[in-house]
Amino acid sequence: MSAVLAPRIPVQFPEKLVPIFEPKRFKVMHGGRGGGKSHTIAQVLLLEAMKRRVRILCVREVQKSLAESSMQVIKDYIIRLGLSAYFDVLKSEIRCKTTGATFSFSGLKDHTADSIKSFEGAGIVWVEEAHSVTAHSWNILIPTILRTDGAEIWASFNPDQEDDYVYDRFVKHADADAWVVAINWRDNPWFNDAMNVERLKMKALNDDLYQHIWEGKCRSLAGLLFKRRWFKRYELGKHPDNLRRYMSTDYAGAPDSDNPEREPDWNEFGIGGVDVSGGIWFLDWYSGQEDAADWLPAWTRLAQKHNPRAVFEEKGTVLRTIDGTITRELQRLRINVYRHALASASSKADRALGFAAYASTNEIWVPNCEWGDRLINQLCAFTGQDGKTDDMVDVCSLFGRGVDSMRNALPPDDDKKAPLTPFTEAWFNARDREDAESVAEREEYYT
């Protein structure tokens, strides 16, 4: 649909989204890539800002910086629609000069019931990537916003899990106060050839991933790159005794002191053992967002407790920064362990393929515990896309590559015969054969 709603504001958006102009307490748009959700919302919000004085709040669960907000798409459409003369684009806010309407941008994760009161008075709230907003955040946001008469909450997202709050409430269950629409690439008349080529490539490569990214389907419980059915569970501590143990690491470095409001990345250390048949048993794990003063003792405790044959690390800037600190601590504690640094290769998804091959053999054992559940959930939600929490997957990827590189990871020879009982007939016969072989060897030598 293309319509000129004002002489100088030609907007374009899929016809399926025309009902967005009708009043509704909740407006929920879900679907895959290329459907035009964000582009439509940005244009309509600019129209609303030019019609009336309204406070528009654009939120997502985590917003480490304005670069991760929806501010850029709003700015792009101000220019594209020729509205630069009507809006002041400030450092952290956008204002309409003619109506006084404002756009502000925020993350929800760090807000409490008290601090989120600053959102009161917003007339429209756009919740971007709404699938990642927790039930806790929704339960604080909704009553705060709806205290204002006529306020609306707009949500846009690509469905992720069926039990995500926004999907469960508005898509799986009907809500009389909500307009809910599924919008995908085929509904967008401006879906171009370049995007279609990418769509078809993904479909040929991985149909599970294609259905999620392009068709807006929830991730199946079976997973995308990793299938949930591949992993076996066991009770923590009840693993085979004869495991060759290895440690795999993913270092995050120190928290960013220049941006203390940012959520630090995760340091993840995993201990895994390889059994005689090549199966992998995960035995112990550490997860933390602290600096080296906290995670280094955890690192050394794992090494002392499990005495791994090797520690797998990934080469790069982070390892170069902390390598000396780890080395000095190991020397101080007199811990002797072989540290094996592997080159960072290609993309996250490519690096994970080796471990995925292991997993597909149904020989990966994960304990029934909190970190075991977290590990499987991360693996089965893994897409290789940037910005996702997948540090545990990185540990597994490095573990798979590291084990492949270790010659002593091969299973031992199980064909060794049991020793003969002394003074039995079989024992005497074996001695006679050995004596005869010795005589033959001596004669050949002296000849």
Which is more confidently placed, 86 or 349?
86
In whole angstroms, what is the distance from residue 136 CA to residue 352 CA? Answer: 32
What is the rounded average pLDDT of the residues 375-395? 82
277 lies in the same domain as 376: yes
Residue 314, in any domain of the structure:
yes
404 lies in the same domain as 426: no
Q: How many domains does the chain have?
A: 3
Which is more confidently placed, 319 or 291?
319
| Residue 263 near residue 64 (C-beta atoms within 8 A) | yes
Which structural domain range is residue 260 located in? 228-409
97 lies in the same domain as 36: yes
What is the DSSP secondary-structure string of 349-418?
HHHHHHHHHHHTTT-EEEESSHHHHHHHHHHHT----TTS--HHHHHHHHHHHHHHH-GGGSPP-TTPPP
Q: Return the H-helix or E-strand segment holding 293.
A: helix 292-306
325 lies in the same domain as 244: yes
326 lies in the same domain as 365: yes
239 lies in the same domain as 351: yes
| pLDDT tens readout for residues 25-73 | 999 999 999 999 999 999 999 999 999 999 999 998 888 777 767 888 9
User: Which residues are 56's β-sheet partners?
Assistant: 103, 124
383 lies in the same domain as 434: no
| Residue 16 near residue 37 (C-beta atoms within 8 A) | no
Q: Is the dihedral of CA 10, 11, 15, 17 positive or negative?
A: negative
In whole angstroms, what is the distance from residue 135 CA to residue 243 CA? Answer: 41
Residue owning tokens 């030019």: 50
pLDDT at residue 118 in the model = 79
163 lies in the same domain as 32: yes
In this predicted structure, the answer to whether residue 429 has a pLDDT above a threshold of 90 is no
pLDDT bucket at 180, cuts 50 / 70 / 90: very high
State if pTM tops 0.95. no
In whole angstroms, what is the distance from residue 276 CA to residue 35 CA? Answer: 50
As a whole-number percent, the residues of the chain with pLDDT over 70 amount to: 83
